[in-house]
Structure 1
Amino acid sequence: MPPTPIETKLAAARTRLILDKPFLGALVLRLPMHAAATDWCKTTATDARAFYYNPDYIAALTLDQTQFILAHEALHCALSHFARRRHRLRHRWDLACDYAVNPLLIADGLTPPPGALVMPMYKGMTAEEIYPLIGEQDQSETLDTHAYDQDDQNPRGRGQQSGLTEKDLDQRPPQQQPAAGEPDQGGARNAQPAPGGGAGAPQPLTPDEQDTLAVQWQQRLAGAAQQAMQAGKLGGELARMIDHLLQPQLPWRMLLARYLSATARDDFSYARPSRREGDFILPSLRSQQLDLIIAIDTSGSIKDQELEEFINEIDALKGQVRARVTLLPCDAALCAGAPFRYEPWEQVVRPTAIQGGGGTSFVPVFRWVATAGIQPDLLVYFTDAEGEFPKQEPPYPVIWLVKGQSKVPWGQRIQLN
């Protein structure tokens, strides 16, 4: 059967992506394309296995806009949005994912179709960072249908129409498995034919499927990025995002605890004791107190809840390693009343005097340490890393706990999200 005009248009858009945007083109190639029934797919959709489209919607788009919508679905998959929602409400999460994806594509020179969600304030942010900024009653509509997830509330907007209730699942025909030796067509086995023609809504992914697909898509992301970099066609926001995603993502609490434990000066001494203590030399544990400086960015980008969680974590770790904590809240200047000091036996609590919201400079913290003549065992800075850094690295270890994707010029950087 010869291809339809819509199939030809999609193939042309995909080919242009492969030639002009090899990173995005390589990802789009991983999604088989299926015409979908119009009762559930008003525009386009993905279940992390395939690309579903409404032929009437594709017909109304230009070739440039078709490239955008193909790349839009592929990025949802490559960023594992289908596996990162966790406890979050689906509607707000779907909006956050669109707000995270669309600016990346626009910055890469693609043309969005009408209805694409774009908010300048969300540029450069991950879906997790955008989610709490979206109002609970936001009635915005996503550009597409995220068909990989289960609804947790009544559908709202065309981006929510793929949710299946228990009744829907009971009425669905049994899922067909591929015949022996037949390859899995990436979503085709999950989407049953609809009565009116086109693929029906695919079943939401199970937790095991989410985990498996997340690994597959991360491998595809890394492979596509490598090919594009070799071709010299990967840069800007997409390159920074990929670099951020491919960094080892270990829990910051674990990394900080490990670092503090290694820094703790607990050791065994084999010094010869007094003769009055006997003839045997047995090891004795000697322990010295750590001097720990904690700096907190109060410029406004760090939320109150995040500050509370961070301070509570520091308090818990401090008790394990016998550390005296000096707390230095700072935006463009040190907070009034700083420093705040806590002995190892004292609970670290958030000072009521903490105020901020101004610009960001890291210089006042390091200047205060130098002026005070202190040589701390460790300085930990909780920040988004968007501010003025001292020109010279200090003569003591520094850990930056960074919320966001910004880089640091020196010290050890630990990713918070």
Structure 2
Amino acid sequence: MLGLPFFAVSWRSLIERARARICGADRVLCGILLALKPVEAPGLGTLGVTKDGRLLVDPKAVMEYTLHGRRIEELARILVHEALHVLFLHPERCEKLGDLNICNVAADAIVEATIEESVRGDPSLARTLGFYTEDGVLNAPRPGSEYHKRLEALREFLEKCGVPWDMVLDETLESIYKKLEACLRKKGGAPAKSIDSHPWGGAQPSIVAPRGGSISSGREQLGEIARMAAKMVEEGGGAGPSGIAGKLPGVVPGEWENVLELTGLRAKLNWRQLLQRLLDRYAPLDYTWRRPSRRSEALRVYLPGPLKRGWKITVALDTSGSIEDDEYREFLAALYELLADRPVETLVVVEADVRVQRMQVFTDPPPPAVIEWARRRRGYGGTVFSTVIDEILEKHPDTDLIIYFTDGYGYYPKTQPRVPIIWVISRRGVKPGSRYWPPIGHVVKIE
């Protein structure tokens, strides 16, 4: 009896299928993958993107990811992984940090945490990409696969080095790198295995353009791809709210601000927009048609107004002697705008220098009442942020977010607090790169 003919499945066709699935969910990441040239790399054991724009592919690894062509979800996830490395400029940034092995692990952590945060809780995106089921169960990588084993080993390694997985997105590539480097120096050993391969060196072949044809070779081309993709994200280039790229400004604000800085796009955003983006992540704003927007009357169009949510936010105002009166007035003006645009259920306002001078809890706070309370400041001493934050968390352990208005000159906590913290630095405050620049949390510089 003759059997059915056997048709070999090519690794290139599987790459195309996985890429098509991503293109149906996110055109920014799709564009990056179309701009990378797949190159066969036997023995690599996985996939990897080079700094000169090649996508290295081990055919054997592709067959393992896809169970010899039977399913492509895991291959799609590794392709998203590679596209995010490009978008976040990880090849360029890792080259500057020194130890590529440690940086590879830090970069993988940022990328994998971004994927999980973006996809989990979004049934339509989870269904399209297949990374998670609609019930939030991990579907790709498959439990027990090599990809899954490396992901679990990555989580365990980060935990041992004091970087909990649920705090990864509060860090940047550079901050995680420093923590891992210090951890390995102290404890010895080697970093976890990278999920993919990062051969960020070597020759400079040409890159295939998205619509065919050849683009000039050189590592600068990869940076150009990243810049174009970043611009698309800023302009809303993701596939609506469901696309991974469309979620990046809210999901990974610290990492994304670095990308904007490096690509020259950050200058297009003012500090108020940056602060609002961070707040969108930690205190998302919903709207209701039952309460009209303040802009409705002026525009003569009925618009939904903001819906109060059960967020408890703490705002700390630096009242130390280094804060000039005009700086303090600027803090109060920013606080007024924040309350007017984003009502919260509970607000804790703190005046502090070396310690907490005053603390007041406002429920459903009207902006004028808060500003009137904070107008006559107390303090004028030195600045110790760590003491103030400890007291805030001791008295209000259920706070969801701390926003600290300051000039930045003071003593910071040595470790990340258990809640997110946003530093709003005054115009005359510390500059990026100085020894007083906040080592933890997210930073917004008033400009």
Normalised by the length of structure 2, the TM-score is 0.47
Larger radius of gyration between Structure 1 and Structure 2:
1
Normalised by the length of structure 1, the TM-score is 0.50
